[in-house]
Copies of this chain bind each other. A is one copy, B any other.
Amino acid sequence: MPALDCTLETQPKLFNCITMSRKTFQRLSLDVRRRSLIEATLTCIARDGLHGASVRRITEEAGVTVGLVRHYFGSKDDMIRNAYAYLVGQLTAQASESARATEGTPEAKLASFLRANLTKPNMDEKTVSLWATFIGRVRHDPDFAEIHRDGYREFLNVLETLIEPVLIDHGCPHSVAICRNHAIALNGLIDGLWMEGALNSGLYAQDILPDLITGAAERLLELPAGALSAPDIALQSARHQTQPKQQSKPS
C-alpha cells in the first residue's frame, strides 16, 4: 500500500518549502547539457537495456531533473535519436582516426584500420550492445534509418580510400567497381567479427581476431601473404615486383 507516499503527496510543496531546500544547480551551455544528457542516455541503455532506460533514470544519471528532456529535446524519442547519431559518429570517427593517425605505407594504414576495429576500445561489448539495440529500431524509425545509412556510407568510403592504394601498390586491378565490392565484403567481415568477437561467447579467444582479419583481408584482396600482417617485410618484395602475385598457404 502506498499510504506513506500519499500522505506526503497531499501537501508536497508546503513540506518541501518548509523543511527541504530546492536542489542547487548550475546553468550550463546548450552543448554541454545536451552532450551530458546524450551520454547519460547511452550509459543507461547500455546498462539497463532499451526498456529499462526511462527518462527518470537517464536524467538521474545526468544529474538533472526530468523537465530538462523536454527543454533540450522535444521528447525522449528525440533524445534517443540524438544519442544514436552521437554513437555512430564516435564509432566512424574513431575508426577513421586510427587509420589517419598511422604513418607509413597504404598497407600499414589499412592493417591499422582493420586491427583497430577488432581491439579495444572499438571492439567493446558495451558498444556492440548499444549498436545492436539501435539497429533493431532502424526498421521502425526513418530517422534511425538515415543515421544508419550515413554511418554505413562513411565507413564504406573510408574503406575504399584505404583499399585502392594497396591494390595499386601490388599491381592488382583497382577499378572503382572493384574497390567498392572489396569494401562491401571487407566491411561485412569487419562488422561480423566485431560483433561476434565483442559478444565473446567464449568459443575462442578474442585476441586471435586482429591477426585473423589481416590474414583474411590479404586473401580477400589477393595480396601476397604478409602484405598486411607483416607489412614491413612483405612490402619490399612487393615494391620490387619480384613476386607480385605470389600466394602462400597457411602453415
Contacts and interface: CB of A to CB of B under 8 A. Distances in A.
Interface of A: 46, 48-51, 125-126, 129-130, 132-133, 135-140, 145, 148-149, 152-153, 156, 172-173, 178, 180-181, 184-185, 187-193, 195-196, 199, 201-204, 208, 212-213, 215-216, 219-222, 245, 247, 249-251
Contact of A149 (B136, B190, B203): B203
B129 A199 contact: no
B136 A129 contact: yes
A182 to B, nearest CB: 9
B152 A125 contact: no
A196 B189 contact: no
A226 B27 CA distance: 66
B137 A135 contact: no
A50 to B, nearest CB: 6
Contact of A132 (B132, B180, B193, B220): B132
B49 A140 contact: yes
Nearest to A211: B181
Nearest to A245: B247
A193 B199 contact: no
A128 to B, nearest CB: 8
Given A140-B48, A203-B153, A195 B135 contact: yes
Contacts of A180: 204
